[in-house]
Amino acid sequence: MKYLKFKDGSKMPVIGLGTWKSSPGKVKDALQNAIQFGYRHIDCAAVYQNEKEVGEGIKAGLASAGIPREELWVTSKLWNNAHKKEDVLPALKKSLADLQLNYLDLYLIHWPVVFKSNIEGFPKNEEDFLALDEVPIIETWNAMIEAKNQGLIKNIGVSNFSIKKLEDLIDQTEDFPTVNQVELHPYLHQDELLQFCQSHKIHLTAYSPLGSGDRTPQMKADDEPSLLENEIVLKIANKHKCSPAQVLLKWSVERGTSVIPKSTNAQRIKENLKSIDVNLTGEDMNELKTLDKHYRYVNGKFFETTSKYHNIYDD
Ligand code: A2P
Protein backbone atom coordinates (compact mmCIF):
# COMPACT_ATOMS: atom_id res chain seq x y z
CA MET A 1 0.00 0.00 0.00
CA LYS A 2 1.05 3.60 -0.56
CA TYR A 3 0.57 6.27 2.10
CA LEU A 4 0.09 10.02 2.36
CA LYS A 5 2.40 11.40 5.03
CA PHE A 6 1.41 13.96 7.63
CA LYS A 7 3.48 16.49 9.59
CA ASP A 8 2.88 14.68 12.89
CA GLY A 9 4.42 11.52 11.42
CA SER A 10 1.15 9.70 10.82
CA LYS A 11 0.44 7.97 7.50
CA MET A 12 -2.89 7.63 5.69
CA PRO A 13 -3.23 4.58 3.40
CA VAL A 14 -4.20 5.92 -0.03
CA ILE A 15 -7.14 3.54 -0.46
CA GLY A 16 -9.83 3.64 2.19
CA LEU A 17 -13.32 2.24 2.55
CA GLY A 18 -16.11 4.78 2.10
CA THR A 19 -19.25 4.36 4.21
CA TRP A 20 -21.62 6.98 2.76
CA LYS A 21 -24.82 5.15 1.71
CA SER A 22 -23.72 1.92 3.41
CA SER A 23 -26.87 0.77 5.11
CA PRO A 24 -26.71 -0.03 8.83
CA GLY A 25 -27.75 -3.62 8.08
CA LYS A 26 -24.74 -4.20 5.82
CA VAL A 27 -21.99 -1.92 7.01
CA LYS A 28 -20.83 -3.98 9.98
CA ASP A 29 -19.97 -6.97 7.76
CA ALA A 30 -18.46 -4.66 5.14
CA LEU A 31 -16.09 -3.22 7.75
CA GLN A 32 -15.18 -6.58 9.17
CA ASN A 33 -14.45 -7.95 5.68
CA ALA A 34 -12.53 -4.86 4.62
CA ILE A 35 -10.22 -4.95 7.62
CA GLN A 36 -9.64 -8.66 7.13
CA PHE A 37 -8.84 -8.07 3.44
CA GLY A 38 -6.22 -5.49 4.43
CA TYR A 39 -7.98 -2.11 4.45
CA ARG A 40 -6.38 0.18 7.03
CA HIS A 41 -8.32 3.36 6.26
CA ILE A 42 -12.01 3.90 6.96
CA ASP A 43 -13.95 7.03 6.05
CA CYS A 44 -17.03 7.88 8.12
CA ALA A 45 -19.30 10.81 8.94
CA ALA A 46 -21.95 11.56 11.53
CA VAL A 47 -24.50 12.42 8.82
CA TYR A 48 -24.21 8.96 7.24
CA GLN A 49 -26.24 7.76 10.24
CA ASN A 50 -24.39 4.47 10.51
CA GLU A 51 -21.41 5.23 12.76
CA LYS A 52 -22.70 2.85 15.49
CA GLU A 53 -22.66 -0.08 13.07
CA VAL A 54 -19.34 1.09 11.58
CA GLY A 55 -17.98 1.03 15.14
CA GLU A 56 -19.19 -2.54 15.61
CA GLY A 57 -17.57 -3.49 12.30
CA ILE A 58 -14.28 -1.84 13.26
CA LYS A 59 -14.26 -3.73 16.54
CA ALA A 60 -15.04 -7.04 14.85
CA GLY A 61 -12.55 -6.37 12.04
CA LEU A 62 -9.69 -5.53 14.38
CA ALA A 63 -10.41 -8.68 16.37
CA SER A 64 -10.53 -10.97 13.34
CA ALA A 65 -7.45 -9.41 11.72
CA GLY A 66 -5.65 -9.50 15.10
CA ILE A 67 -4.40 -5.92 14.82
CA PRO A 68 -4.47 -3.02 17.30
CA ARG A 69 -6.57 0.09 16.72
CA GLU A 70 -3.38 2.10 16.08
CA GLU A 71 -2.93 0.30 12.75
CA LEU A 72 -6.18 1.70 11.44
CA TRP A 73 -6.75 5.20 10.06
CA VAL A 74 -10.25 6.45 10.89
CA THR A 75 -11.72 9.70 9.55
CA SER A 76 -15.02 11.24 10.60
CA LYS A 77 -16.72 14.55 9.83
CA LEU A 78 -18.45 17.33 11.75
CA TRP A 79 -21.97 17.89 10.49
CA ASN A 80 -23.27 21.32 9.47
CA ASN A 81 -25.45 21.65 12.58
CA ALA A 82 -22.45 21.65 14.94
CA HIS A 83 -20.25 24.51 13.70
CA LYS A 84 -20.70 26.71 16.78
CA LYS A 85 -17.72 26.49 19.08
CA GLU A 86 -19.77 24.98 21.91
CA ASP A 87 -21.21 22.30 19.59
CA VAL A 88 -17.97 20.91 18.12
CA LEU A 89 -16.73 18.88 21.08
CA PRO A 90 -20.12 17.22 21.82
CA ALA A 91 -20.50 16.26 18.13
CA LEU A 92 -16.99 14.80 18.08
CA LYS A 93 -17.61 12.90 21.30
CA LYS A 94 -20.83 11.43 19.88
CA SER A 95 -18.93 10.14 16.82
CA LEU A 96 -16.18 8.73 19.05
CA ALA A 97 -18.74 6.98 21.26
CA ASP A 98 -20.62 5.55 18.26
CA LEU A 99 -17.38 4.39 16.64
CA GLN A 100 -16.17 2.96 20.00
CA LEU A 101 -12.90 4.86 19.65
CA ASN A 102 -11.03 7.19 21.96
CA TYR A 103 -9.42 9.20 19.16
CA LEU A 104 -9.83 9.87 15.44
CA ASP A 105 -6.94 10.01 12.99
CA LEU A 106 -8.69 12.78 11.10
CA TYR A 107 -11.72 14.99 11.70
CA LEU A 108 -13.08 17.16 8.90
CA ILE A 109 -15.51 20.08 8.66
CA HIS A 110 -17.94 18.32 6.32
CA TRP A 111 -19.20 21.37 4.34
CA PRO A 112 -18.58 25.13 4.44
CA VAL A 113 -22.27 25.49 5.34
CA VAL A 114 -23.93 26.18 8.68
CA PHE A 115 -27.31 24.95 9.93
CA LYS A 116 -28.96 25.93 13.17
CA SER A 117 -27.94 23.61 16.01
CA ASN A 118 -31.39 22.02 16.33
CA ILE A 119 -31.53 20.84 12.69
CA GLU A 120 -31.16 17.08 12.47
CA GLY A 121 -29.96 15.86 9.09
CA PHE A 122 -31.03 18.27 6.36
CA PRO A 123 -32.77 21.68 6.48
CA LYS A 124 -36.32 22.13 5.26
CA ASN A 125 -36.17 25.85 4.47
CA GLU A 126 -33.91 28.90 4.52
CA GLU A 127 -34.74 29.61 8.15
CA ASP A 128 -32.84 26.46 9.13
CA PHE A 129 -29.51 27.92 7.91
CA LEU A 130 -27.12 30.35 9.53
CA ALA A 131 -24.87 32.62 7.48
CA LEU A 132 -21.11 32.05 7.39
CA ASP A 133 -20.55 35.41 9.04
CA GLU A 134 -22.81 34.39 11.93
CA VAL A 135 -20.67 31.30 12.61
CA PRO A 136 -17.39 31.88 10.76
CA ILE A 137 -15.32 28.87 9.72
CA ILE A 138 -12.47 30.11 11.92
CA GLU A 139 -14.70 29.71 15.01
CA THR A 140 -15.33 26.07 14.10
CA TRP A 141 -11.68 25.59 13.15
CA ASN A 142 -10.41 26.89 16.50
CA ALA A 143 -12.72 24.44 18.28
CA MET A 144 -11.27 21.64 16.12
CA ILE A 145 -7.75 22.74 17.15
CA GLU A 146 -8.85 22.64 20.79
CA ALA A 147 -10.13 19.05 20.33
CA LYS A 148 -6.80 18.15 18.75
CA ASN A 149 -4.95 19.66 21.70
CA GLN A 150 -7.06 17.48 23.99
CA GLY A 151 -5.81 14.39 22.15
CA LEU A 152 -9.21 13.45 20.70
CA ILE A 153 -8.09 13.95 17.09
CA LYS A 154 -4.69 13.51 15.50
CA ASN A 155 -5.25 15.61 12.36
CA ILE A 156 -7.83 18.17 11.31
CA GLY A 157 -9.06 19.11 7.89
CA VAL A 158 -11.98 20.19 5.76
CA SER A 159 -14.22 18.85 3.03
CA ASN A 160 -15.84 20.48 0.00
CA PHE A 161 -13.69 23.61 0.33
CA SER A 162 -12.91 25.77 -2.71
CA ILE A 163 -9.52 27.46 -3.17
CA LYS A 164 -11.06 30.70 -1.94
CA LYS A 165 -12.41 29.11 1.25
CA LEU A 166 -9.06 27.45 1.90
CA GLU A 167 -7.30 30.79 1.39
CA ASP A 168 -9.71 32.53 3.78
CA LEU A 169 -9.03 29.90 6.40
CA ILE A 170 -5.24 29.71 6.09
CA ASP A 171 -5.02 33.49 6.23
CA GLN A 172 -6.49 33.28 9.73
CA THR A 173 -4.62 30.38 11.30
CA GLU A 174 -1.18 28.88 11.61
CA ASP A 175 -2.68 25.42 11.92
CA PHE A 176 -3.45 24.66 8.26
CA PRO A 177 -5.93 21.96 7.26
CA THR A 178 -4.06 18.74 6.53
CA VAL A 179 -6.73 17.38 4.16
CA ASN A 180 -9.46 18.66 1.87
CA GLN A 181 -11.87 15.86 0.92
CA VAL A 182 -13.67 16.62 -2.34
CA GLU A 183 -15.34 14.93 -5.27
CA LEU A 184 -12.69 13.82 -7.80
CA HIS A 185 -12.83 11.41 -10.74
CA PRO A 186 -11.98 11.52 -14.45
CA TYR A 187 -15.06 13.69 -15.18
CA LEU A 188 -14.01 16.17 -12.45
CA HIS A 189 -10.24 16.63 -12.31
CA GLN A 190 -10.16 19.91 -10.31
CA ASP A 191 -6.54 20.47 -11.38
CA GLU A 192 -6.34 24.02 -9.98
CA LEU A 193 -7.53 22.88 -6.57
CA LEU A 194 -5.10 19.94 -6.67
CA GLN A 195 -2.18 22.26 -7.46
CA PHE A 196 -3.21 24.78 -4.81
CA CYS A 197 -3.47 22.04 -2.17
CA GLN A 198 -0.17 20.45 -3.16
CA SER A 199 1.59 23.81 -2.92
CA HIS A 200 0.22 24.26 0.63
CA LYS A 201 0.88 20.67 1.71
CA ILE A 202 -2.84 19.94 2.00
CA HIS A 203 -3.66 16.37 0.94
CA LEU A 204 -6.73 15.75 -1.20
CA THR A 205 -9.02 12.77 -0.68
CA ALA A 206 -11.24 11.79 -3.61
CA TYR A 207 -14.88 11.00 -2.82
CA SER A 208 -17.44 9.53 -5.25
CA PRO A 209 -14.57 8.04 -7.28
CA LEU A 210 -16.93 5.59 -8.99
CA GLY A 211 -19.72 8.09 -9.58
CA SER A 212 -21.78 7.13 -6.51
CA GLY A 213 -24.40 5.29 -8.56
CA ASP A 214 -26.28 4.29 -5.39
CA ARG A 215 -27.42 7.82 -4.53
CA THR A 216 -31.16 8.29 -4.07
CA PRO A 217 -33.12 9.19 -7.24
CA GLN A 218 -33.67 12.73 -5.85
CA MET A 219 -29.91 13.25 -5.82
CA LYS A 220 -29.45 12.13 -9.43
CA ALA A 221 -29.70 14.05 -12.67
CA ASP A 222 -31.63 12.34 -15.49
CA ASP A 223 -28.73 12.60 -17.93
CA GLU A 224 -25.86 11.57 -15.64
CA PRO A 225 -22.82 10.25 -17.46
CA SER A 226 -21.56 6.85 -16.27
CA LEU A 227 -17.92 6.55 -15.24
CA LEU A 228 -17.97 2.77 -14.94
CA GLU A 229 -19.30 2.43 -18.50
CA ASN A 230 -17.15 5.09 -20.12
CA GLU A 231 -15.54 3.77 -23.32
CA ILE A 232 -12.04 4.99 -22.54
CA VAL A 233 -12.20 3.60 -19.01
CA LEU A 234 -13.42 0.26 -20.40
CA LYS A 235 -10.68 0.22 -23.03
CA ILE A 236 -7.95 0.84 -20.43
CA ALA A 237 -9.47 -1.79 -18.13
CA ASN A 238 -9.47 -4.26 -20.97
CA LYS A 239 -5.84 -3.52 -21.77
CA HIS A 240 -4.75 -4.12 -18.16
CA LYS A 241 -7.15 -7.04 -17.60
CA CYS A 242 -8.66 -5.27 -14.62
CA SER A 243 -12.09 -3.82 -13.85
CA PRO A 244 -13.25 -0.29 -14.78
CA ALA A 245 -13.52 0.50 -11.05
CA GLN A 246 -9.86 -0.41 -10.60
CA VAL A 247 -8.87 1.99 -13.40
CA LEU A 248 -10.84 4.81 -11.76
CA LEU A 249 -9.32 4.16 -8.34
CA LYS A 250 -5.75 3.88 -9.55
CA TRP A 251 -6.25 7.14 -11.48
CA SER A 252 -6.81 8.87 -8.12
CA VAL A 253 -3.74 7.27 -6.58
CA GLU A 254 -1.58 8.26 -9.59
CA ARG A 255 -2.59 11.88 -9.02
CA GLY A 256 -1.24 11.79 -5.48
CA THR A 257 -4.58 11.77 -3.68
CA SER A 258 -6.19 9.20 -1.44
CA VAL A 259 -9.50 7.65 -2.51
CA ILE A 260 -12.45 6.19 -0.61
CA PRO A 261 -14.64 3.90 -2.75
CA LYS A 262 -17.79 2.75 -1.00
CA SER A 263 -18.86 -0.87 -1.22
CA THR A 264 -20.73 -3.27 1.01
CA ASN A 265 -20.08 -6.20 -1.32
CA ALA A 266 -17.20 -8.45 -0.20
CA GLN A 267 -16.01 -9.18 -3.75
CA ARG A 268 -15.97 -5.52 -4.76
CA ILE A 269 -14.39 -4.43 -1.47
CA LYS A 270 -11.50 -6.79 -2.26
CA GLU A 271 -11.34 -5.74 -5.91
CA ASN A 272 -11.15 -2.04 -5.00
CA LEU A 273 -8.18 -2.56 -2.66
CA LYS A 274 -6.36 -4.51 -5.37
CA SER A 275 -6.55 -1.50 -7.71
CA ILE A 276 -3.24 -0.45 -6.17
CA ASP A 277 -1.58 -3.16 -8.32
CA VAL A 278 -2.85 -1.81 -11.66
CA ASN A 279 -0.02 -0.16 -13.61
CA LEU A 280 -1.55 2.79 -15.46
CA THR A 281 0.85 4.26 -18.02
CA GLY A 282 1.43 7.93 -18.85
CA GLU A 283 -0.54 7.30 -22.02
CA ASP A 284 -3.50 5.93 -19.99
CA MET A 285 -3.40 8.99 -17.72
CA ASN A 286 -3.33 11.29 -20.77
CA GLU A 287 -6.35 9.56 -22.22
CA LEU A 288 -8.20 9.85 -18.93
CA LYS A 289 -7.32 13.54 -18.84
CA THR A 290 -9.43 14.11 -21.96
CA LEU A 291 -12.54 13.01 -20.01
CA ASP A 292 -12.60 16.05 -17.71
CA LYS A 293 -15.92 17.83 -18.07
CA HIS A 294 -16.17 19.50 -14.64
CA TYR A 295 -19.08 17.20 -13.82
CA ARG A 296 -20.26 16.87 -10.23
CA TYR A 297 -22.39 13.93 -9.14
CA VAL A 298 -22.75 15.45 -5.68
CA ASN A 299 -23.61 19.04 -6.32
CA GLY A 300 -23.45 20.96 -3.05
CA LYS A 301 -25.41 23.76 -4.63
CA PHE A 302 -28.42 22.20 -2.93
CA PHE A 303 -27.00 23.86 0.22
CA GLU A 304 -26.77 27.30 -1.35
CA THR A 305 -28.94 30.04 0.05
CA THR A 306 -29.20 33.56 -1.20
CA SER A 307 -30.60 35.24 1.88
CA LYS A 308 -28.00 33.61 4.16
CA TYR A 309 -25.15 33.79 1.60
CA HIS A 310 -23.60 30.37 0.98
CA ASN A 311 -21.74 30.03 -2.32
CA ILE A 312 -20.32 26.54 -2.06
CA TYR A 313 -17.82 26.52 -4.91
CA ASP A 314 -17.25 30.31 -5.10
CA ASP A 315 -18.01 30.23 -8.80
P1 A2P B 1 -21.83 -1.86 -3.86
O2 A2P B 1 -21.80 -1.23 -2.50
O3 A2P B 1 -23.00 -2.76 -4.07
O4 A2P B 1 -20.52 -2.53 -4.22
P5 A2P B 1 -18.79 5.68 -4.83
O6 A2P B 1 -17.65 5.08 -4.08
O7 A2P B 1 -18.35 6.52 -5.99
O8 A2P B 1 -19.76 6.40 -3.93
O9 A2P B 1 -19.61 4.50 -5.55
C10 A2P B 1 -20.32 3.56 -4.79
C11 A2P B 1 -21.16 2.72 -5.73
O12 A2P B 1 -20.29 1.94 -6.58
C13 A2P B 1 -22.02 1.74 -5.01
O14 A2P B 1 -23.21 1.57 -5.74
C15 A2P B 1 -21.20 0.45 -5.03
O16 A2P B 1 -22.04 -0.68 -4.95
C17 A2P B 1 -20.55 0.55 -6.38
N18 A2P B 1 -19.26 -0.15 -6.46
C19 A2P B 1 -18.30 -0.23 -5.51
N20 A2P B 1 -17.23 -0.90 -5.95
C21 A2P B 1 -17.52 -1.28 -7.22
C22 A2P B 1 -16.81 -2.02 -8.20
N23 A2P B 1 -15.61 -2.51 -7.96
N24 A2P B 1 -17.43 -2.20 -9.40
C25 A2P B 1 -18.66 -1.72 -9.65
N26 A2P B 1 -19.37 -1.01 -8.76
C27 A2P B 1 -18.80 -0.78 -7.55
Q: Is 108 helix (H, G, I), strand (E, B) or coil?
A: strand
Q: Is 202 helix (H, G, I), strand (E, B) or coil?
A: coil
> Are 37 and 267 in contact, with CB atoms under 8 Å apart?
no
Q: What tens digit of pLDDT does each residue of 192-213 get?
A: 999 999 999 999 999 999 999 9
Percent of the chain topping pLDDT 70: 100
* CA of residue 89 to ligand 1 center, whole Å: 33
Lowest-confidence range among 113-122, 144-153, 186-195?
113-122
Q: Name the closest-CA residue to atom 21, ligand 1.
A: 268
* CA of residue 232 to ligand 1 center, whole Å: 19
Phi-psi group of 49: left, alpha or beta (phi > 0 → left; psi -120 to 50 → alpha; rest → beta): left
Is 207 among the catalytic positions?
Answer: no
CB atoms within 10 A of CB 148: 18
Domains of the chain, each with CATH number or no CATH: 3-212+225-303 (3.20.20.100)
Q: Residue 310 has what pLDDT?
A: 87
Q: Residue 308 has what pLDDT?
A: 83
Q: Residue 309 has what pLDDT?
A: 83
Burial of 140 (0-12, 13-18, 19+ CB in 10 A): buried
CA 205 distance to own-chain centroid: 6
Q: What tens digit of pLDDT does each residue of 136-169 get?
A: 999 999 999 999 999 999 999 999 999 999 999 9
SS (H, E, C) 234-261: HHHHHHHCCCHHHHHHHHHHHCCCEECC
CA distance 28 to 130: 35
Q: What tens digit of pLDDT does each residue of 64-104 get?
A: 999 999 999 999 999 999 999 999 999 999 999 999 999 99
Of residues 201, 146, 198, the one with CA closest to residue 177: 201
Structure confidence at residue 306 as a pLDDT band (50, 70, 90): confident
* CA of residue 243 to ligand 1 center, whole Å: 12
> Are 179 and 205 in contact, with CB atoms under 8 Å apart?
yes
